[in-house]
Amino acid sequence: MPEALALARDLDLDLVEVADKAEPPVCRIMDYGKYKYEAAQKAKESRRKSTNVSVKEMKYRPKIGAGDFTTKTRKVSKFLGEGHKVKVTIMFRGREMAHPELGKKILDQVADDVATVARVEVVPKLDGRNMIMVLAPDKRAQAAHAAAEKKAAEELAAEQDLTRLSEAQTEIETEGAAAAQPSGPPDNPAVS
């Protein structure tokens, strides 16, 4: 043990005990500060890579207005885009319980509106006075939607380029026609 300690000091390194229960104890010569730093970096990297998925909840009512519906659905889409799961709840009161099909219709409409970013994880089901549905982010659907948007943008850009080209061609033709006509007053020997 003293020889190992002397060797570590000569190399300007640390003597670290690896297995203290072993006979004789197992030690390692290393730069302990560098080891601690690398271990902290690995732990930080693993924390960064792990995703913290939480479940957000959005509550609707069977008699929701169109403006409120679009606002809430936009918020649901935002949550899904951030990688969260979303629990969509329809709250029934009183006689609204007699018409669960209204709640199902709203949940189906929400699912259709966010189909480009999510998939239905738990189908709509009645739970007491509430009807719930759980949506989860869908990476494949998001990628397909992004590809479709990119293709549409490229087609629009190509169409605009063609429009500009035809407008420029028309302008050149009209300028050419205007240049071919004589300018100025006509030479007419009129009575003076």
27/83 same-domain check: no
37/69 same-domain check: no
Cβ proximity of 129 and 91 under 8 Å: yes
59/121 same-domain check: yes
Render pLDDT for 95-143 as a digit per residue (tens, 0 to 9): 999 999 999 999 999 999 998 888 899 899 998 999 999 999 988 877 7
Q: Alpha carbon 111 to chain centroid distance?
A: 17
23/90 same-domain check: no
Q: How far apart are CA 111 and CA 29, in angstroms?
A: 60
What pLDDT was estimated at residue 49?
73
CB-facing half-sphere around the CA of 7: CA atoms within 13 A:
10
Render pLDDT for 28-45 as a digit per residue (tens, 0 to 9): 888 889 989 999 999 888
What pLDDT was estimated at residue 123?
92
67/123 same-domain check: yes
80/103 same-domain check: yes
The boundaries of the domain holding residue 96 are: 55-137
CATH of the domain at 106: 3.30.110.10
Compute the average pLDDT of residues 85-92: 94
Cβ proximity of 160 and 132 under 8 Å: no
Residue 107's closest CA among 91, 129, 94? 91
For residue 9, tell me if it sits in a domain: yes
Q: How far apart are CA 49 and CA 51, in angstroms?
A: 6
For residue 179, tell me if it sits in a domain: no
Can you list the pairs that 147-155 forms with residues at least 24 positions away whose Cβ atoms lie under 8 Å? none
For residue 158, tell me if it sits in a domain: no
For residue 147, tell me if it sits in a domain: no
Please enumerate in sequence order all residues whose Cβ is within 8 A of that of 28, keeping only pairs 6 or more positions apart, or say none: 15, 16, 18
Q: How far apart are CA 76 and CA 112, in angstroms?
A: 12
Residue where a domain terminates, one of 137, 167, 187:
137
Residue 113 one-letter amino acid: D
For residue 177, tell me if it sits in a domain: no
| Element spanning 133, H or E | strand 130-137
What pLDDT was estimated at residue 12?
86
Strand pairing class (55-60; 85-91): parallel
User: What's the structural domain count of the chain?
Assistant: 2
